[in-house]
Amino acid sequence: MPTLKQTQFQKQKLAPRQVLQAKLLQLNTVNLEQAILKELEQNPVLEQVEPEEPQEILKEENAVDDMDAPIEDIYSDTSTYYFEQEKTEMPVPDRHSFLEDIIERLQDSGLSDTDQEIAETILWNTNERGYLDTDLFLIAAGFDLEEEDIEPILRTVQKMHPKGIASRNLQECLTIQLEDEPESLSYKIVTACFDDFMHKRYEKIQSRLKCSTNELHKAVEQVSHLNPRPGEGYTDRFQTVIPDVIVREEGDDWVITTNDGGLPELRISQNYAQGIDNGKYQGKAKTFIRKKMDSANWFIGAVKQRRETMVKVMRSIIQNQPEWFSGNMDFLRPLRLQDIADAIDMDISTISRSTRGKFTDTPYGIFELKHFFTDAIELNDGRVLGTFIIKRALVKIIGLEDKQHPLSDDTLVEKLKVEGYKMARRTIAKYRDRLGIPVARLRKEI
């Protein structure tokens, strides 16, 4: 006979304001503008500040004491220079990006309008490798749903071509590609013995799955030919990059501005605010207006918070990479997201959203913010350097090699040792592979 019982457990749930701040922070400048325009359409209490009559821009600039501009300068018109540039009259061809093609195919999947919107949000939160790059519960919270409510929608997206898109990890990606063969040895290896497979503990797999060496060899061969990065190979060839942050040097200081001065400036409608104060609205109308005013204030605050966070993160990056910003673009110190989080006293997830897909315009060109983050490696002589330096030196050496007699990994070790980087051969091979550079015999030219 069924019985009723109560259970107590803890569950993480973000407040609506936190969800909004996280959502806006992960948007780039273009998507932020779209979000602002959408909010203006949906919230009658929110209105756009009409620009005043254009005035002559003063050429004189004041010195900045801190590394970034004061708060009033951060939102100045100087950040709109990209929108003021003279545009060349050139027809833009109609092109669909990789994600837009998937979204177009989703229309035939039978999803409702709401589910379609959730699916699009999931796709726009995938990284260049095709993996879901944000927590699923954050996407669910944005639609006032629980994580388990949008799991079926995620599964629908993952079954689209290429299979495994929007997977949360490698095991899930490979499992989806093998789900049509649930009785196969390959499927069992990925689902039941994944850790042993990744560490090549084949004896343990044989013992657990009771298979022969020949069967295991065929299964491993099949898994090895699956696509571990469903997003690669479909990278959009045509991409316009609009920097989110602009960095300029003034004397010994750096001026940091967010490139959103051309976006609509928002405020609460005075008509509705005065109507609340004067008692014009009563009952349900008053409740509705107050609710919309709270929502509008949260949105305006979230936009402002995004600006301040972006400036803080960029300032901390400059402080941690002084050599690079002094002009030595071949040198980057070891830097992790956690280092920035500790420096400005923010959560690492906030730093991740601030840097993911964001670009900065520096005196040396436009770079993605993640360019300034690099792992650390300890050389045989005890020095600790950023892996960026080693990879940069490796690219230069291979770039200058005789393509008819390309350098082997052993020779690369000796060349790097001459440069002052004494490292093991397996480490060099690993970095060469991460750079997408093939082995010597595949680099040979006739």
Please report, for the domain that includes residue 407, its CATH number.
1.10.10.60
Q: Look at residue 14 and tell me whether its pLDDT is greater than 70.
A: no
338 and 266: one domain? yes
> Would 90 be classed as within a structural domain?
no
353 and 339: one domain? yes
pLDDT score of 62: 42
- How many angstroms separate the CA atoms of 264 and 36, rounded? 7
310 and 351: one domain? yes
pLDDT score of 311: 93
Report how many helices (DSSP H) and strands (DSSP E) the chain contains, helices first.
Answer: 22, 8
> Would 87 be classed as within a structural domain?
no
39 and 164: one domain? no
Give, in degrees to the nearest 5, the angle at Cα 250 between 249 and 255. 65
Nearest to 68 by CA among 243, 242, 247: 247
101 and 234: one domain? yes
Contacts of residue 240, defined as CB under 8 A and 6 or more positions apart, other chains included, come to: none
Helices 16-25 and 283-320, packing angle to 10 deg: 50
- On the 0-12 / 13-18 / 19+ scale of CB atoms within 10 A, 4 is exposed
> Would 43 be classed as within a structural domain?
yes
Q: Look at residue 238 and tell me whether its pLDDT is greater than 60.
A: no
> Would 369 be classed as within a structural domain?
yes
231 and 252: one domain? no
Residue 283: how many CA atoms within 13 Å on its side-chain side?
1
> Would 54 be classed as within a structural domain?
no
3-class SS at 167? strand
Question: Domain end: 374, 391, 411, which one?
Answer: 374
Contact 217, 114 (CB under 8 A): no
pLDDT tens sequence across 51-93 = 665 544 444 444 434 444 443 343 334 333 433 443 334 444 4
Phi and psi, residue 254, nearest 5°? -120, 135
221 and 260: one domain? no
Question: Domain end: 218, 239, 260, which one?
Answer: 239
- On the 0-12 / 13-18 / 19+ scale of CB atoms within 10 A, 114 is exposed
251 and 367: one domain? yes
Q: What is the DSSP letter of 210?
A: T
List the single range of 150-159, 175-184, 375-384, 432-441 with lowest mean pLDDT.
375-384
- How many angstroms separate the CA atoms of 171 and 198, rounded? 10
> Would 391 be classed as within a structural domain?
yes
211 and 107: one domain? yes
pLDDT score of 124: 83
Name the domain count of the chain.
Answer: 3
76 and 105: one domain? no
Contacts of residue 190, defined as CB under 8 A and 6 or more positions apart, other chains included, come to: 171, 174, 175, 178, 197, 223
Percent of the chain with pLDDT over 90: 15
Average pLDDT over residues 310-324: 93
Give me the long-range contacts of 125-128 (CB less than 8 A, separation at least 24).
125/26, 126/99, 126/165, 126/166, 126/231, 127/231, 127/356, 128/231, 128/232, 128/235
172 and 212: one domain? yes
Q: Look at residue 395 and tell me whether its pLDDT is greater than 70.
A: yes
Q: Tokens at residue 437, please? A: 């550079």
pLDDT score of 308: 92
pLDDT tens sequence across 116-167 = 889 888 888 888 788 888 888 888 888 888 888 899 999 998 988 888 898 9
The domain in which residue 344 lies consists of 13-48+64-82+242-374
> Would 288 be classed as within a structural domain?
yes
> Would 291 be classed as within a structural domain?
yes
370 and 274: one domain? yes
Q: Residue 134, Cα to own-chain centre: how many angstroms?
A: 8
Q: Tokens at residue 98, please? A: 């990789």
Question: Domain end: 239, 255, 270, which one?
Answer: 239
Contacts of residue 111, defined as CB under 8 A and 6 or more positions apart, other chains included, come to: 119, 153, 156
Query: 283-317 burial string, b = 16+ CB within 10 Å, else e?
Result: eeeeeebeebbebbebbbebbebbbebbbbbbbbb
User: Sign of the CA dihedral 98, 102, 103, 107?
Assistant: positive
